[in-house]
Amino acid sequence: MMNKMQLLNSMLYKSGILPLMQSMMNSKTLIILAYHRIYNAGAYFPFDNDLISATPEQFEQQLRFISANGFTVIDFHDLREIMHSKEIKGNRYAVITFDDGFEDNYTFAFPLLRKFGMKAVIFLVTDCIDSTIPFWFDRFAFYYKQGLIKACHFPVGSEPPVENMPLVDLLSFMKTIPNQIRLGIMDNLDRENIELFDDETIGGLSRPLSWAQIREMNEHGIEFGSHTCSHPAIPMLTEDSTVEQEIAGSKHVIESEIGTRVVSFSYPIGAASPLAMFYVKKHGYEFAVDYYHSKNKLTRHFNPFALHRLHMETSLSYDEYRISMIT
């Protein structure tokens, strides 16, 4: 016969709760969450829905879970101190990151982060800050949804079957062609259409952050990292000097604008090529994140220039999110 305690243990074990608690106690985990936009797109949205990582309601629920479940929310300056300390204290660390630097990070994410007293890290595309023009990948998504992209916008011989391709595939095509060709295609499309974003109701739906917003957030504990100057797919750049300029130049601009050292970098399109990693190390970054969907084990031996992240999507249910955080 089992006594009450044995019975309880057995029930907890069979339900999976006990093994889970044991594994949580034994390993030190670094969870880095990868968000892009916090926005409520509604029924029709003229930009890329896949870049919306959570509605404000979902984001608040996710932060509440982090707050209530024993995670220590840190930024990369904190991580640096933790890695340099004698002993890694605590078991579960979380870093909340945002790629690109959309204005909604300020409008919707920042007030909620403040409400929960949490830090976060925003990776900026420095050429785009203070611009009223959307990022190139969101302009492309907009043109696609308006039916404005035709085979004639592509170089002869490389025309993808535009009419039949889903947006996600056409965007993948754009991210895997040489950078100069991509820039040429965007020039063709922008020349005919860029004034469409002058319309406040359209342009206001996909806008990069301003330096004023960045400075205000920085004063309230938000860290800013680099996501390059112009958001190319780094492996598609043909000149090494361009790779170096994208990585070093963006760091320099952020540091001179906000007066804080930049220690973190996010590889655009998640592509951590050896060349990109080389320049990231050379120019004094201490951490870099890719887009490989995984948690990180926090040990002395992890590679700080290939940290993985959990992808945040609006399709993620609250239960799926909770399970991904604690298992």
Give residues in contact with Zn ion (CB under 5 A): 99-100, 268
Q: How many helices (H) and strands (E) does the chain have?
A: 14, 11
Shortest reach from residue 167's CB to Zn ion, in Å: 16
Give the helix ranges, DSSP H, for 131-210. 136-145, 167-175, 179-193, 200-203
d(CA 235, CA 198): 33
Half-sphere exposure of 185 (CA within 13 A, CB side): 30
d(CA 307, CA 116): 25
Shortest reach from residue 270's CB to Zn ion, in Å: 8
User: Residue 48 or 100: which CB sits closer to Zn ion?
Assistant: 100
Pair type for strands 296-297 and 29-35: antiparallel
User: Residue 266 or 296: which CB sits closer to Zn ion?
Assistant: 266
Shortest reach from residue 271's CB to Zn ion, in Å: 10
Shortest reach from residue 192's CB to Zn ion, in Å: 25
User: Residue 267 or 305: which CB sits closer to Zn ion?
Assistant: 267
Place of tokens 């951590």: 272
Shortest reach from residue 115's CB to Zn ion, in Å: 26
Shortest reach from residue 96's CB to Zn ion, in Å: 16
Are 252 and 279 contacting, i.e. CB atoms less than 8 angstroms apart? no
Nearest residue to Zn ion, using CB? 99
Nearest to 228 by CA among 211, 244, 206, 212: 244
d(CA 156, CA 185): 11
User: Residue 225 or 268: which CB sits closer to Zn ion?
Assistant: 268
User: Residue 60 or 100: which CB sits closer to Zn ion?
Assistant: 100
User: Residue 269 or 325: which CB sits closer to Zn ion?
Assistant: 269
